[in-house]
Amino acid sequence: MISIRKIDYSIIIDKRYDKIKVIKKDEEKSLILKKEYYICECDCGNIVSIRANDLYNHKIKSCGCYNPKQYKNIQNIKFGKLTALEYKYTINKKAYWLCECECGKLIITSSSNLNSGHTTSCGCNRNIINVGNLSKHFRNLLFNKIKSILESCNYKCCLTGTQDNLEVHHLESFSSLYKNTIINLGLPLYDNFYNYSSEQQKEIDTIFLKHHDDNILIVINRNIHIDFHKIYGYGNNTKEQFSDFIKKYYSNSNIEEPFPLF
């Protein structure tokens, strides 16, 4: 039998890894997540908690302030009626580009949508395609709202101020929001959105979007998002859980309650 030597991560304390200096072990987060995490200071001044293995193997080079922009450059390439003008940001490992349509309108879309042919215009030549799956329908419905939120916070994480790998987190369960919207209207919960009449569809969409006028969404870094769900699980998440998460791990951030959402 081959024995695997366990790494003593305490050796990384006071050492530098790229833009990160390791300060001390994050005892509480290590205990909860059952992985070793260390409190670190980035060259930009941010204090963050990072998994030891990611530091040791140089997988994380900064708090997120350093973005090497590892994306394929498609600037000035034309996709249907769209010309890619400028890289804007990365979400869920997808690079998003500002594009100009032949009709003169500017939109932001992912390079994967452009390369696959899914998006070929700003919408001026779009044939409406039915999206049956409930979850997919409501995520598509939120696309413009999410773009607006990212623009409002200047493409920065609300906790760390960094601009790398951003995601938009629902402070209240996304699935509960759309399911309760339908149930509260006294309608059955179908798997396919187009099982509802056109009038019912409009009423469902209107009420669902109205929920997002409240403090429901917040922009955070992907690693923070993952850490939150590792601790609190997926589904039925609440604002109170996120408040508890901030107090435990990001008490030095600039965010205050009620959350400065958009």
Summarised one tens digit per residue, pLDDT across range 14-36 is 999 888 899 999 998 888 888 89
Q: Against a cut of 0.75, is the pTM above it?
A: no
Who has greater pLDDT, 205 or 126? 205
- Asked if pLDDT for residue 222 goes beyond 90, the answer is no
φ/ψ bin of 97: left (φ > 0), alpha (ψ from -120 to 50), beta (otherwise): beta
- Per-residue pLDDT tens for 242-258? 988 888 877 665 555 54
- Long-range CB pairs of 29-33, under 8 A, 24+ apart, other chains included: 29/227, 29/248, 29/249, 32/231, 33/227, 33/230, 33/231
Q: Which of 158, 82, 149 is nearest to 122 (CA)?
A: 82
Q: Which of 66, 77, 33 is nearest to 52 (CA)?
A: 33
